[in-house]
Amino acid sequence: MTRPLPDTSAHGDLAAVVIRTDYEDAIAWQAVRAALEAPDEFGEPESWIVDDPAWAGADVNEVLAAVAADEHLNDTVTVVFLADTATMRSPLQPLLAVTTFTREDCEDDEEYTALTEYGRAFRTEPAGVRAISANLELANMDFQDFSAGAAAAPEQVFRADWRTAG
């Protein structure tokens, strides 16, 4: 069974795609959402948020299948963020950032191995979502740049201030 995505035609090319998969704690979700929507030095962040209980308990493979099946998102999105149980239970509110690229999207095994050197997913604080999404969509940086940042962090969570962190 495929879970329904809302109409994606209004999804902006630089908007981060965030799918909520945990519905146990409404207060935690409001805090995550407020963090996602907080302005930064670039202004108001743009996120396309799926907040539909039909997605409760969805796993990474279900989310990736839905994105791949959607004509607009499949052509424009290289990373998707899940607000899952770990997001809602941790004080860091770390969303799961997952690359939508598969081996078939890469030129060869070497390119795919480099892309997934630290895995297909990593955790990021909400403030990192905008930087990750925009830089990947603009091809300023690669997924492995961000996943390496998360892997090097003590909590294994990418921080938005990673370039200035000592």
**pLDDT (0 to 100) of residue 161:** 74
Q: Spell out the alpha helix ranges (H) of the chain.
A: 26-37, 60-69, 71-76, 85-89, 109-115, 126-137, 143-152
d(CA 67, CA 73): 6
| Pairing relationship of beta strands 121-124 and 95-99 according to DSSP bridges | antiparallel
**pLDDT (0 to 100) of residue 9:** 80
Name the nearest CA neighbour of 101 among 55, 59, 138, 67. Answer: 67
Share of the chain above pLDDT 70, in %: 93
**pLDDT (0 to 100) of residue 122:** 97
pTM (2 decimals)?
Answer: 0.92
Residue 84 CB contacts under 8 Å (≥ 6 apart), including other chains: 21, 22, 95, 96
User: pLDDT tens across 82-116, in order?
Assistant: 999 999 999 999 999 999 999 998 999 999 999 99
pLDDT band at 45 (very low <50, low <70, confident <90, very high): low
